[in-house]
Structure 1
Amino acid sequence: MNASLTAPAARPLPLAGQTAIVTGASRGIGRAIALRLAQDGAAVVATARNADLLRTLATEITAAGGRVATVAMDLREAAEPARLVAAAIEAFGGIDVVVNNAGATKRGDFLALPDADWIDGFALKLFGAVRLTRAAWPHLKARRGSLLNISGVGGRTPGPEFTIGGSVNAAMLAFTKAMADVGVRDGVQVNAINPGYIRTDRLQIRLEKLAREQGVDLVEAARRIVAADTIVRIGEPEDVAQLVAFIVAPASRFLHGAIVDLDGGQTKTL
């Protein structure tokens, strides 16, 4: 048969038969991760607080032939991570991948940030991740799965407007390193990603504020951030999703205990 007439090879699905939990999956980075893991063959259990946005995500995944279950919940509530794990087991029978992505922290002058903002910042991003990891760990261990924490460059290089976020992200990185040793013992891969400037709703708000303050348009505001931080460009949620898909794929299991800065060169320290 003429080679030009043969059908193209099917796209490989490295996560076929696996189940992945993705938190903070309704928008931005989490949404992109959920879509990408579904494209790679995983059954995705997507969670966030906004049920409507989760339904939209589920519709997109199923329309593309993927498998998905959505669970609307607030992971700041102590009992919810265990309920999420139970829902994943009920829907798909096991857990192979957990991506702890949920969590946003308030920016601002340190002296203007009350205890409530600090408590809320740690409640979702750190304690939500800790509780979900604890609840999912026996299932990850049973399947020799993968735990991936989405932290942020502020954990390495905090700034005066990011005292809460820098502290939470640093705690997430320490948690990752500690769990990596547990993962060696139990056969679970553990890593973290530190995104830099990623084009999300939160970054859009910052760009709009900068544009107003400096009297420029959004394109120029983004260009000034890129120039000021000497980075190659603003990242896209799909950039993070692509790296997530690479890390949790079976072929990448030698990557363990790693903290990967995905920031276009923003982090300058060794």
Structure 2
Amino acid sequence: MDRGLKGKAALVSGASKGIGRAIVARLVAEGMQVLGTARGGCDVPGAVGFPADLRDPAAPSAVVARAVEAFGRLDLVVNSAGATRRGDFLALDDAAWTDSYAGKFFAAMRLTRAAWPHLMATQGSVVHVAGAGGKIASADFTIGGSVNAALMNLTKALADRGVQDGVRVNCINPGSIRTDRLTGRITTVMQEQELDEAAAADALAKATGVARFGEPEEIAAVVAFLASAEAGYIQGAILDVDGGWIRAV
């Protein structure tokens, strides 16, 4: 299916692995010019890799400038960077909170702010990749839950601004997706319950209340849809892509 993305330019953060890397690969396959940024760069064939640590307040502007220099335009920004710390609330110090907010929320805010004038010029769009934990509170995910909730609120606020500026802003909440982080959680269940990998994965999925775990490529497909003209009337949406994990309205 031709989504009308050929020749357009995208900037994707968190592009070295997992969901971010899958998004880069999908957008390249759609014919987009893509700059993928992460601390480790991006090795997706056909994409431009640009190593950057978005926790540095100056990095987002430099990344946007590099993308515009490479492509001469910018049509899409996907904020997929930032793993947040999981753990007991009383055991998490200020440094853990500061690092998690810097790497995910502030990185997304600054990258979007730097890209906004360019997105206005192309009537482009922004997609934030937050997470189901922003809607489902958990005592061992206090940082990630609050960061994701903040990204959802930022989505709505920027979408309001985007109505007048011609920039669409939406948010995806992935559920349990097969990434390195999920693999680590499966390993923990294996050790705690003395199960093999398949049984541990099944137990974790059932505990979450889903039939299976999602794949990074499934999140990437939703990003491609939201960036396309087909989604032109979708503004400020919070889209749960979680296999039915979030059951609240």
Superposed CA offset, 1:60-85 (max 9, x none): x23xxxxx211101000011100011
Q: 1:210 to 1:49 in 2, by over 3 A?
A: same
Greater displacement, 193-202 / 225-234? 225-234
Greater displacement, 179-188 / 227-236? 227-236
Code of the residue aligned with 1:44 in structure 2: it is: V
Superposed CA offset, 1:87-136 (max 9, x none): 01110001000000000111111000000000001001000011111100
- Distance in 2, matches of 1:175 and 1:203, equals 26
- Distance in 1, matches of 2:194 and 2:37, equals 38
> Which position in structure 1 is the counterpart of 2:27?
37
Show the 5 A alignment for 1:73-92. 73-92=52-71
- Distance in 2, matches of 1:186 and 1:12, equals 26
Superposed CA offset, 1:173-231 (max 9, x none): 00000000011010111100000000000110110011110000111111112222221
- Distance in 2, matches of 1:252 and 1:210, equals 39
Code of the residue aligned with 1:167 in structure 2: it is: S
Contact 1:46–1:71 under 8 Å retained in 2: yes
Code of the residue aligned with 1:23 in structure 2: it is: S
- Distance in 2, matches of 1:184 and 1:19, equals 21
- Distance in 2, matches of 1:227 and 1:109, equals 23
Contact 2:173–2:239 under 8 Å retained in 1: yes
What secondary structure sits across from 2:140 in the alignment? coil
Contact 2:133–2:148 under 8 Å retained in 1: yes
Q: How far 1:12 moved relative to its partner?
A: 2.8
Contact 2:3–2:230 under 8 Å retained in 1: no
Code of the residue aligned with 2:12 in structure 1: it is: V
Match of 1:224 among 203, 214, 228: 203
> Which position in structure 2 is the counterpart of 1:15?
5
- Distance in 1, matches of 2:199 and 2:120, equals 48
State which structure, 1 or 2, has the greater radius of gyration over its C-alpha atoms: 1
Q: Tell me, which stretches of 5 or more residues in structure 1 are unaligned?
A: 1-10, 63-67
Relative to the length of structure 1, the TM-score reads 0.90
Q: How far 1:13 moved relative to its partner?
A: 5.4
- Distance in 1, matches of 2:120 and 2:164, equals 10
Show the 5 A alignment for 1:135-214. 135-214=114-193
- Distance in 2, matches of 1:177 and 1:29, equals 22
- Distance in 1, matches of 2:218 and 2:34, equals 19
> Which position in structure 1 is the counterpart of 2:94?
115
Aligned residues: CA RMSD: 1.0
Q: How far 1:245 moved relative to its partner?
A: 0.7
- Distance in 2, matches of 1:218 and 1:140, equals 44
Match of 1:124 among 92, 103, 109: 103
The alignment of Structure 1 onto Structure 2 pairs a total of residues equal to 249
Q: Structure 1: which 4+ aligned runs deviate by more than 3 Å?
A: none
- Distance in 1, matches of 2:167 and 2:130, equals 19
2:29 is the alignment partner of 1:50: no
Contact 1:13–1:39 under 8 Å retained in 2: no
- Distance in 1, matches of 2:236 and 2:144, equals 22
> Which position in structure 1 is the counterpart of 2:84?
105
Code of the residue aligned with 2:88 in structure 1: it is: D
- Distance in 2, matches of 1:220 and 1:121, equals 31
Contact 1:13–1:41 under 8 Å retained in 2: no
Q: How far 1:268 moved relative to its partner?
A: 1.3
- Distance in 2, matches of 1:253 and 1:244, equals 13
Relative to the length of structure 2, the TM-score reads 0.98
Contact 1:108–1:162 under 8 Å retained in 2: yes
Greater displacement, 191-200 / 68-77? 68-77
Percent identity, aligned pairs only, is: 51
